[in-house]
C-alpha cells in the first residue's frame, strides 16, 4: 500500500503488550473507534493471545502479529504458511536472508504482509558492537533493507531516524513501520532511537507503533486521539 492509500486512522498501531487476552480485549473495548490497528507481540501471544488475532479481524480491526520469527529457512517457511490462516495483516521476521526468503515463500500469494525487523529500536551503535557487529546502526539498517527488497519482503520495521535514508533505497514500494515513538514528555523506557508521532510522520513513516504511552496511560483513548491529531497535522 502506498502512503497515499493508507487511511490516516490506520497509521497508528497500538501494541497490546498486556498480560492476558482478557486484559487486551478490555483495552480494545476501552479504545473503541479511536484505534483501528493493533499489534500482538510476545507478551500477549505467549499468554494465549493468538486466537485474538481472528477475533479482532472479525471486528474489523487490523492486526500486526509481531512474532519476529528467526530459524532455518524451511522452518520459517512452514511457520509462516500456518500464520497466513490467522487473519493478520502484518507479520515480522528478523532481517536475515534465509529467514526473509523462507517467510516470503511461506506467505506465497496470501494477503499477509511480511515485515523485516532491521535493527531493534532499543539498540544504538554501542549495543550493536557489543553484539559482535562492526557496522553502525544506520549501515546495518540500510544493508538489511537492500537485502529485504531484493528478497521480495513487503515492508521494514525501523526507527523513525532511518526513514529518510530508507525511502531513498526502497522508495514507496515497501511500507516503513516505526516503533520507538514517544509523544513529547512520555517516558522513553528502553527505547533508544525515538521520535514524536508528528516528526516520524513528517519524516515519511507509514505506520507508527505505540505501546506503553497508550496502554499504560490513565486515559488511553485521549492519548490515542492526541497521536491521531499529531498525525493529521503532520500529513497536512
Ligand X SMILES: O=c1ccn([C@@H]2O[C@H](COP(=O)(O)O)[C@@H](O)[C@H]2O)c(=O)[nH]1
Enter the C-alpha cell of residue 168: 531513498
Check: CB of residue 85 under 8 Å from CB of residue 76. no
Q: What is the contact mask toward ligand X in residues 5 to 44, using x (rule: CB under 6 A)? A: ----------x-x-----------------------x---
Q: Which of 157, 170, 202, 234 binds ligand X (CB under 6 A)?
A: 157
Residue closer to ligand X (CB basis): 21 or 211: 211
| Class of residue 68 by CB neighbours under 10 A (exposed 0-12, middle 13-18, buried 19+) | middle
Binding flag, residue 209, ligand X (CB under 6 A): yes
Minimum distance from residue 72 beta carbon to ligand X (Å) = 22
Q: Which of 120, 137, 151, 153 binds ligand X (CB under 6 A)?
A: 120
CA distance 11 to 206: 6
Minimum distance from residue 42 beta carbon to ligand X (Å) = 7
**Stretch of 25-33, 103-111, 134-142, 206-214 lying at the interface with ligand X (CB under 6 A):** 206-214
Residue count (the chain): 236
Q: Is 68 a catalytic residue?
A: yes
Q: Which of 210, 223, 227, 231 binds ligand X (CB under 6 A)?
A: 210
Enter the C-alpha cell of residue 63: 492486526
Give the DSSP per-residue string, 81-127: HHHTTS--SEEEEES-HHHHHHHHHHHTTSSPEEEEE-S-TT--HHH
| Strand pairing report for 155-157 and 113-117 | parallel
**In the complex, residue closest to ligand X by CB:** 211
- For the annotated catalytic residues, the residue numbers are 66, 68, 71
Amino acid at each position: 500500500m502506498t502512503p497515499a492509500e493508507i487511511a490516516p486512522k490506520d497509521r497508528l498501531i497500538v501494541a497490546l503488550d498486556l498480560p492476558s487476552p482478557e486484559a487486551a480485549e478490555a483495552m480494545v473495548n476501552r479504545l473503541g473507534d479511536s484505534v483501528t490497528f493493533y499489534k500482538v507481540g510476545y507478551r500477549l501471544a505467549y499468554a494465549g493471545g493468538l486466537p485474538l488475532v481472528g477475533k479482532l479481524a472479525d471486528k474489523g480491526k487490523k492486526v500486526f502479529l509481531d512474532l519476529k520469527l528467526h530459524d532455518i529457512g524451511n522452518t520459517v517457511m512452514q511457520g509462516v504458511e500456518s500464520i497466513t490462516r490467522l487473519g493478520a495483516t502484518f507479520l515480522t521476521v528478523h532481517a536475515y536472508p534465509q529467514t526473509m526468503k523462507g517467510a516470503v515463500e511461506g506467505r506465497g500469494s496470501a494477503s499477509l504482509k511480511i515485515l523485516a525487523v532491521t535493527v531493534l529500536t532499543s539498540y544504538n551503535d554501542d549495543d550493536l558492537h557489543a553484539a559482535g557487529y562492526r557496522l553502525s546502526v544506520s549501515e546495518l539498517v540500510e544493508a538489511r533493507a537492500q537485502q529485504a527488497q531484493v528478497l521480495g519482503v513487503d515492508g521494514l520495521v525501523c526507527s523513525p531516524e532511518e526513514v529518510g535514508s530508507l525511502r531513498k533505497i526502497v522508495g514507496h514500494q515497501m511500507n516503513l513501520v516505526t516503533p520507538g515513538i514517544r509523544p513529547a514528555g512520555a517516558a522513553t523506557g528502553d527505547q533508544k532511537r525515538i521520535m514524536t508521532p508528528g516528526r516520524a510522520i513528517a519524516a515519511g513513516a507509514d505506520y507508527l507503533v505505540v505501546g506503553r504511552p497508550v496502554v499504560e496511560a490513565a486515559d488511553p483513548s485521549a492519548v490515542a486521539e492526541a497521536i491521531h491529531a499529531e498525525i493529521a497535522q503532520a500529513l497536512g
